[in-house]
A and B are shown apart, each in its own frame.
Chain A
């Protein structure tokens, strides 16, 4: 691959992947709100 294509691809894919992972981890790490919340699995 030529360098401009490689830079474009890697820069974009790294940024998009990191942002996606960041938000998803934040979702996983955020504790659920007090009941009653929107999610039935938290009711148990």
Chain B
């Protein structure tokens, strides 16, 4: 018997929690880098087209699947999917909707703890007077665990997440979203204003902040027909909306069947777009170009925006001097912290919902169990960060798993459950008129786009399985110490991969036990 009596407190709270789920560090660190690498201002065209053809349809699908499952008391994807078709294997596809949340939370909480630590160091002036190389080296020493500080901040972060989750949806998650999202937007707006009004010569800047904006937004229309650019846009839309994870279905499963999901989905989805496009584009690139120039920024962003955000911005904020520098550091890392925690909380709820629904666990027990499993799973990403374990988790759980699950769920919704029933689910109780064209987009266009994204990523997946990148580095290396380090990395990467597979199989086994338990108790399956 389920102990799950959760409910949302208010509609605004639900939308802010759902927007907070979508808004993550990638809105500020990934989007601007993707834009400058894929045609500047012209990138927004494929980005918005993918949002309309893939992002919005997936939002509608996941919200309606969640509400549909909630009607029968299902709050996690295994039995939500199971209730949509009589074939028994769908519940095992639904395992992805728990696995992804657990595995992503395992490394994401560590990333989130950096932001907390960097807030602390901004306040205490750790970056004050340091050179750019020294700040970068601070980051290197941090992730190499030269002190126990990273572990302390990680544990604090995990305990904080778990404690909030133990307070429930309206008493924990929703309260954090109601405080965190407005603060995030406020912090982002202040930083964007400072970045855009930065003038060459002020605080040692060599360029105006607007040069960075100009660089980011100048459209290179020659890129518009490049499949690489469209794939990058589709990928960005996919990851920014947190679709394919199972967390949207879980949040929506607490919405009653007569209540709206269509307007809620649009409000939360566009709020994420606002944070990404308006705020995300106006902070990191304008400030970095203002101090370092375009060429240096292009070079530094070749491996993504993480380094720029954590290794370079603290140094640049210090150039502002005094209270302004400290304030900007606190605002930037505070903003990233709120972006992170509202997402990591969303990762906890499907796992808790599953244990509450299937095994009758109480909320507090489910929350602390989630925290404990994330601690165990996350430990290798903390201890062996330099051996690629963090990246390996990110690749399989944070990239491949999302695409696979989204592809399956769109096929289930549009072709197995049926688009007529699906359309009824989307439009029941809707407070807006959903354009009928989305019925056809969901049935034909979105599955094709997802299949294209998946097929395009197959060579990369195969290359990852064969460890081609590390093998190439080993072949190119001449220093025996470097070769030994790479071989150790290979070992850790392979172990973490097997570990993730075992986690998936373990969850599948739990789903099997839950299914047998349901049969024994005569409870509804499909």
Q: In the bound complex, do residue A24 and residue B271 qualify as a contact, i.e. CB atoms below 8 Å apart? A: yes
Given contacts A9-B41, A16-B274, contact A23 B210 (CB under 8 A): no
Count of A residues near B, CB < 8 Å? Answer: 28
Q: In the bound complex, do residue B267 and residue A27 qualify as a contact, i.e. CB atoms below 8 Å apart? A: yes
Given contacts A38-B8, A38-B255, A39-B8, contact A5 B431 (CB under 8 A): no
Residue of A nearest to B171 (CB): A40
Q: How far is the CB of B329 from chain A (nearest CB, A)?
A: 26
Which stretch in B257-265, B376-384, B500-508 binds the other chain? Answer: B257-265
Q: In the bound complex, do residue A40 and residue B258 qualify as a contact, i.e. CB atoms below 8 Å apart? A: no
Q: How far is the CB of A21 from chain B (nearest CB, A)?
A: 9
**Count of inter-chain pairs, beta carbons less than 8 A:** 101
Residue of A nearest to B15 (CB): A27
Q: In the bound complex, do residue A32 and residue B41 qualify as a contact, i.e. CB atoms below 8 Å apart? A: no
Q: In the bound complex, do residue A24 and residue B213 qualify as a contact, i.e. CB atoms below 8 Å apart? A: no
Q: In the bound complex, do residue B218 and residue A39 qualify as a contact, i.e. CB atoms below 8 Å apart? A: no
- Cβ 8 A contact of B217, one of A1, A24, A33, A39: A1
Interface residues as binary, A3-44 with B (CB distance below 8 Å gives 1, 0 otherwise): 011101100110011011001101110101100111111100
Q: How far is the CB of A29 from chain B (nearest CB, A)?
A: 10
Q: In the bound complex, do residue A30 and residue B273 qualify as a contact, i.e. CB atoms below 8 Å apart? A: no
- Cβ 8 A contact of B44, one of A8, A28, A33, A39: A8
Q: Which of B205-263 contact A (CB under 8 A)?
A: 210, 213-214, 216-219, 254-256, 258-260, 263
- Cβ 8 A contact of A39, one of B7, B48, B277, B432: B7
Interface residues as binary, B386-399 with A (CB distance below 8 Å gives 1, 0 otherwise): 00000000000000
State the majority secondary structure of interface residues on B: helix
Q: How far is the CB of B169 from chain A (nearest CB, A)?
A: 9
Chain B interface residue bracket vs A: 35 or more
B203 at the interface (CB under 8 A from A): no
Among B9, B11, B258: residue with most chain A CB under 10 A: B11
- Cβ 8 A contact of A20, one of B214, B270, B281: B270
Q: In the bound complex, do residue A23 and residue B277 qualify as a contact, i.e. CB atoms below 8 Å apart? A: no
Given contacts A5-B214, A16-B273, A26-B263, contact A37 B15 (CB under 8 A): no
Q: In the bound complex, do residue B214 and residue A12 qualify as a contact, i.e. CB atoms below 8 Å apart? A: no
The distance in angstroms between the C-alpha atoms of A26 and B271, with both chains bound, is 13
B266 at the interface (CB under 8 A from A): yes
Q: How far is the CB of A42 from chain B (nearest CB, A)?
A: 8
Q: In the bound complex, do residue B219 and residue A27 qualify as a contact, i.e. CB atoms below 8 Å apart? A: no
Q: In the bound complex, do residue B278 and residue A4 qualify as a contact, i.e. CB atoms below 8 Å apart? A: no
The distance in angstroms between the C-alpha atoms of A40 and B175, with both chains bound, is 13
B14 at the interface (CB under 8 A from A): yes
Q: In the bound complex, do residue A4 and residue B12 qualify as a contact, i.e. CB atoms below 8 Å apart? A: no
B124 at the interface (CB under 8 A from A): no
The distance in angstroms between the C-alpha atoms of A24 and B185, with both chains bound, is 14
Q: Give the residues in chain A near B14, CB-CB below 8 Å.
A: 38-39
Q: In the bound complex, do residue A8 and residue B217 qualify as a contact, i.e. CB atoms below 8 Å apart? A: yes
Q: In the bound complex, do residue B41 and residue A5 qualify as a contact, i.e. CB atoms below 8 Å apart? A: yes
The distance in angstroms between the C-alpha atoms of A39 and B11, with both chains bound, is 7
Q: In the bound complex, do residue A1 and residue B270 qualify as a contact, i.e. CB atoms below 8 Å apart? A: no
Interface residues as binary, B268-306 with A (CB distance below 8 Å gives 1, 0 otherwise): 001101100110010000000000000000000000000
Q: Give the residues in chain A near B219, CB-CB below 8 Å.
A: 4-5, 8
Residue of B nearest to A19 (CB): B270
Q: In the bound complex, do residue A13 and residue B210 qualify as a contact, i.e. CB atoms below 8 Å apart? A: no
Q: In the bound complex, do residue A27 and residue B217 qualify as a contact, i.e. CB atoms below 8 Å apart? A: no
Q: Give the residues in chain B near A39, CB-CB below 8 Å.
A: 7-11, 13-14
Q: Give the residues in chain A near B11, CB-CB below 8 Å.
A: 27, 32, 38-39
Q: A13-B277, A38-B7 are in contact. List 4 more A-B contacts (CB 8 A).
A: A1-B214, A17-B278, A37-B258, A38-B11
Pairs A-B, 4 closest by C-beta atoms = A8-B41, A5-B217, A23-B267, A9-B217
7 pairs, A vs B, C-beta closer than 8 Å: A5-B40, A16-B274, A17-B278, A26-B267, A28-B12, A33-B429, A39-B8
B residues at A contact (CB < 8 Å): 7-15, 40-42, 44, 48, 170, 210, 213-214, 216-219, 254-256, 258-260, 263-264, 266-267, 270-271, 273-274, 277-278, 281, 429, 431-432
A residues at B contact (CB < 8 Å): 1-2, 4-6, 8-9, 12-13, 16-17, 19-20, 23-24, 26-28, 30, 32-33, 36-42
